[in-house]
Each structure stands twice: as C-alpha cells, then as structure tokens.
Amino acid sequence: MKMRKSKAKQGIIATAQKLIRKKGYSNINVTEIAYVAKVSVGTLYYHFPKGKVDILAEIMSRKLEGFVVEFNREVGVEKVLEKEMGLDDTLRWFFKKVIELRRPDRYFLSAIQSEMLDNPGEYMAFVEKYQSTDGLQQAMGILSEAIMKAAESEAAGLGKVVEKQNTIQRVIGLLMSYQIIFPGYFGDDDEFVDLALRFFHEILKA
C-alpha cells in the first residue's frame, strides 16, 4: 500500500511539472492534474492537502535540492576561495552562476510569483515551507561564507555585510528572480549583475 501511495505521489509531481511547463501554473487545476496523473482528486489531496500550492512547494523543494548539488559541484566555497577574488568579483561571479543554474527552472519560479499574486496568505505559508528546506539553507550558507571570506580583505565593509545580510539576500534575490524568469528584464545578464552590485553597495550604505 505504501508503495502505491508513493507511486501516486511521484506521478502527481511529475504530471504537475509537465503541465506547468506546457500550460502555465495559473492555467491548470487539481482536477486536471489528478486526471492526467490517473489518480483520484481525493488521492491528490491526501498527498497535498492544500492542492496546487503544496504540489508547487514540493516541486520547488526537490528542484532546490538538485540546484544545491549542482551549485556545490560547479561552485563550492573552496573553489571560490581558490580564485582569490575581491568582494565585487566574488559577487559578480556568484550572481552569474546562480542565474545560469536557475534559469532552466524559470517556469516554476514564475509559478511562485503567480501564487504570490493570486493568494498572498497561502503564499506566505508556502514561503515558510520553501525557505525552511535544508537545500536553501545550505545554498545561503555557501553564498554567505564566500561573501564573508571575500569581505575579510575589505574590513571596512565586512561588518556592514553581516549587518545587512538578510536585506541584501531578499532585495537582490527578488531582482534576480525576475531576471531569471524574464531574460533581459534588466538588460542582458551582465547589465543585471552591474545593477545588482549597485544595489548591494547602496544597501551597505543605508
């Protein structure tokens, strides 16, 4: 029985991913997901009590774990430190690498934005679940450690980086999500990175 339940859950997730890519998150509903996945609506809600938003949270959590594995393989703190770059060059390199690795998931990042606009209350619950994943905490830890190491050689900015860390991550993370979802939204990626660096330094000054 557990195996069948697990198979049903995997089928729901796989089906939802395909439908989101094909039709867009806002254009699908739980009935369609259940029908295409060949499960009952009751089975879908058994695994995902809040429907689409729970399915999306599960998809993004899994994608995030995969992103962290890829991020560690291609980046990793040790590889960053080996480059012996200053703070700005470290940030520039990180921003471009995150955009490169996350852009294939832009359909799902767009779905998060859609959920935020359609249902702010449920979105906040989703964010809590999404941001509490081990993968995201690990990714943020990698980024934070590399930034701190790079900032050590620029002592005047290190304290501010620590103090403003959450604000920096939220503001630049939001801007980056739009650049990933809509390539060219802030110009090409190099132009966006220049903009993100300006925001970074303006936040430090505040």
Specify whether 98 is located in the same domain as 185: yes
Residue 199 to residue 6: CA distance in whole angstroms: 45
Specify whether 28 is located in the same domain as 56: no
* Residues 123-162: tens digit of each pLDDT: 666 666 655 555 555 555 656 666 666 566 555 455 666 6
* Residues 72-125: tens digit of each pLDDT: 776 655 666 666 667 788 788 888 888 888 888 888 888 877 777 777 776 666
- Least Cα distance to 160 among 87, 111, 90, 51 occurs for 87
Specify whether 43 is located in the same domain as 60: no
Q: 76: which 2 tokens?
A: 């990793």
- The band of 50, judged by pLDDT with boundaries at 50, 70 and 90, is confident
Residue 129 belongs to domain spanning:
52-205
Q: CB-based contacts of 123: which residues, under 8 Å, 6+ apart?
A: 53, 112, 115, 116
* Residues 164-183: tens digit of each pLDDT: 777 887 788 888 888 988 88
- Least Cα distance to 98 among 180, 166, 174 occurs for 180
Specify whether 12 is located in the same domain as 112: no
Specify whether 94 is located in the same domain as 170: yes
Specify whether 9 is located in the same domain as 61: no
What pLDDT does 28 receive?
Answer: 93
- For the purposes of burial, counting CB atoms within 10 Å of the CB of 140, is it exposed (0-12), middle (13-18) or buried (19 or more)? middle
Specify whether 71 is located in the same domain as 42: no
Amino acid 38 reads K
**HSE on the CB side for 73, CA within 13 Å?**
7
Q: CB-based contacts of 85: which residues, under 8 Å, 6+ apart?
A: 93, 150
What pLDDT does 188 receive?
Answer: 94
